[in-house]
Amino acid sequence: MDDIILEIEEYAKLEDVPIMQKRGINFLCDLIKDNKIKNILEIGSAIGYSSIKMALVDKDIKVTTIERDENRYLEAVKNIKRCNLENQIDIILGDALETEIKGTYDLIFIDAAKAQYIKFFNKYKENLASNGIILSDNMSFHGLVEEKERIKNKNLRQLVNKIKRYIVFLEENTEFKTDFYKVGDGIAVSRRVED
C-alpha cells in the first residue's frame, strides 16, 4: 500500500495536482481518528489521494467524494481500485454545486474551487450530522492570504480576496464556530454551535 501512496504523491508532483500537503493530511486523519468519524463527504477528489488516506484510517469509514474534472476522476477511480478501496470510497463525477447528495455525514471536507467555498459550505451544511465537522483546506493559499502585497497577478489577487471573504464568513457565522490551524496550507475546522 505504501508504495502505491508514494506513486500517487509522485504523480501529483509531476502533473501539478494540488493534493493535500503531508502535514495537512496527517492533521485530517488524526481528526478523523479522534472524533471517531465514519461517514465523510469530500468536495474535490482530484486523483483520489485524500479520500484514500481518509479511508485507510479505519475499515468502517465510508467516503463519498465529488470531482468535476473527468481526467482526474478517471485517475482517482484507477487509484481507488489499486488500493482495493472501492467498497469504502464512492466517487461521483460532477460539479459539486449541481450534485444532489442525500444522507448525513460526520465530516464534510471542502477542498475544491476556492472561489466557491461559501456556496459549498451553505449547500452542504444541510448534509452535516448534528455534531459533525466541516473542514476547509487552503485557508492560507500558499501563504498569499497573509501576504497579499506579494501578488502581482490580478486573477490570483481576486482568488485570494475570495478566500479572505470566506474566512470572514466563517468568523462571523453565528451558526458555526470555526477554529483556524496553521498546518499544511491552512485548515479551518467548523462545528455547529449548540443551542
- Coil/strand/helix, residue 110: strand
Residue 79 contact, options Mg ion, ligand SAH, none, Cβ 5-8 Å cut-off depending on partner type: none
Least CB distance to Mg ion at residue 111 (A):
4
Q: Does 111 bind Mg ion (CB under 5 A)?
A: yes
Q: Does 106 bind Mg ion (CB under 5 A)?
A: no
Q: Does 138 bind Mg ion (CB under 5 A)?
A: yes
- H helix runs in 93-134, sequence order: 117-124
126 DSSP 8-state letter: G
- Coil/strand/helix, residue 168: helix
Distance CA 101, CA 73 (A): 18
Among 32, 37, 46, 57, binds ligand SAH (CB under 6 A): 46
Strand-pairing partners, residue 189, are: 135, 179
Q: Does 44 bind ligand SAH (CB under 6 A)?
A: yes
> From residue 25, how far is each of 52, 153, 183 by CA, in Å?
11, 29, 9
Q: Does 190 bind Mg ion (CB under 5 A)?
A: no
Name the residue nearer to ligand SAH (CB basis): 117 or 176: 117
Which positions lie near ligand SAH, rule CB under 6 A?
A: 18-20, 44, 46, 49-50, 66-69, 72, 95-97, 111-113, 116
